[in-house]
Amino acid sequence: MRTRCADIRGRMLLLACALAALPVLAGCSTNPVTGRRELILISGEQEVSMGKEAAPKFEEEFGGRVPNDQLQQYVQAVGQRVAAASDRPMPYSYTLVASDVPNAFALPGGAIFITAGLMRRMMNEQQLAAVLGHETGHVAARHSVKGMQQQMGASVLVELAGRIVAPDKADVAQAVAKVVTSMGTLKYSRDDEYEADQVGIKYAARAGYNPWGMVELLTVLKSLSESEPGTLSEMFMTHPLSSKRIEQAQQTIQADPGYAKWSPSTKDPAADKFMAMRALLPPEAKK
């Protein structure tokens, strides 16, 4: 029965790819992270254009950029170390936004944001690399695009992508607003979160960071969710967290002999630098 179902699903995927190729240039392609064939209805060029056009509005929605060049350069430098390890070359960018609400986001095409509120909760650079690796994983595995296809509808997404790639059209601002709204409410599936954790671990390790930073990060967030349940509610709406995610991250690291040189008790050599950078964050707004 399973073989027959798999055969039927395979035929349906091939049919979907054939139909998708008719109205748009994009269609079925191989996921650079998983190697699986999947239906993507916008091209890589359209994805990048959507992200670039939406990024300024997205920054504004989350308090704007933190006005400190040293901090921005630091976050960008850590992010680019991780990006260099990505399975999918993209014009990745990493921006620290001023929102006090702990969160991180990845727009289609590689524009990635982390809030000051989340950075305040971390204790070292390997945790920062873990969260930036996680978000880079969402982009590399096309989770954002696939989520938008499901949430907005494939035809709507294709139409919006077409408007944004043709900036001479007067309705481009409206299209960007829809993209920003969609990304602000996009809820990743648990499977997407598990996969982004695994990819984030891989990218951080490739960049020279201790992969146990992912377990540290998830443990910190889990602890905060228990002690301050309202603080992380927005983040968990878009990025579901459970004890199983921590367990799976641990198992991923323990199962790979390439990670054996790292230990969960190894001190991050860049922890002092991270704390010095964290001290430059503007004071949290009084509640």
Q: Is 153 left (phi over 0), alpha (psi -120 to 50) or beta?
A: left
287 within some domain? no
Q: What is the mean pLDDT of the segment spanning 176-200?
A: 77
Q: CA 246: distance to chain centroid?
A: 17
CA distance 34 to 264: 27
Q: What is the mean pLDDT of the segment spanning 56-60?
A: 89
**pLDDT band, very low/low/confident/very high, at 53 (cuts 50, 70, 90):** confident
Q: CA 265: distance to chain centroid?
A: 27
22 within some domain? no
> Is the torsion defined by CA of 77, 82, 87, 92 positive or negative?
negative
241 within some domain? yes
Q: What is the mean pLDDT of the segment spanning 20-30?
A: 53
Query: For residue 167, what are its two tokens?
Result: 């900036």
Task: Check residue 58 and give its pLDDT.
Answer: 86
Q: What is the mean pLDDT of the segment spanning 133-155?
A: 82
Please state, for a pLDDT cut of 90, what percent of the chain lies above it: 48
243 within some domain? yes
| Residue 175 vs residue 201, higher pLDDT | 201
Task: Check residue 23 and give its pLDDT.
Answer: 39
Helix axis angle for 143-152 and 190-206, nearest 10°, is: 160
133 within some domain? yes
Query: For residue 17, what are its two tokens?
Result: 């790819």
Is this prediction's pTM over 0.75? yes
Residue 234's identity, in one-letter code, is E
| Residue 92 vs residue 37, higher pLDDT | 92
> Is the torsion defined by CA of 133, 237, 194, 51 positive or negative?
negative
CA distance 264 to 121: 19
123 within some domain? yes
Q: Which residues pair with 97 in a beta bridge?
A: 65, 115
Residue 175's identity, in one-letter code, is A
Reference 199, options 87, 285, 284; nearest CA is: 87
Task: Check residue 152 and give its pLDDT.
Answer: 65
Burial of 63 (0-12, 13-18, 19+ CB in 10 A): middle
Q: Is residue 13 over pLDDT 60? A: no
284 within some domain? no
| Residue 134 vs residue 34, higher pLDDT | 134
Domain count, the chain: 1
Q: Is residue 175 over pLDDT 50? A: yes
Q: What is the mean pLDDT of the segment spanning 123-145?
A: 94
**pLDDT band, very low/low/confident/very high, at 7 (cuts 50, 70, 90):** very low
Average pLDDT, the chain: 82
Q: Is residue 216 over pLDDT 90? A: yes
Q: What is the mean pLDDT of the segment spanning 32-43?
A: 81
Q: Is residue 106 over pLDDT 70? A: yes
**Domain that residue 142 falls in:** 44-278
Q: What is the mean pLDDT of the segment spanning 253-281?
A: 96
Q: Is residue 235 over pLDDT 90? A: no
Residue-wise pLDDT tens digits, 60-104: 989 999 999 999 999 999 999 999 999 999 999 999 999 998 889
234 within some domain? yes
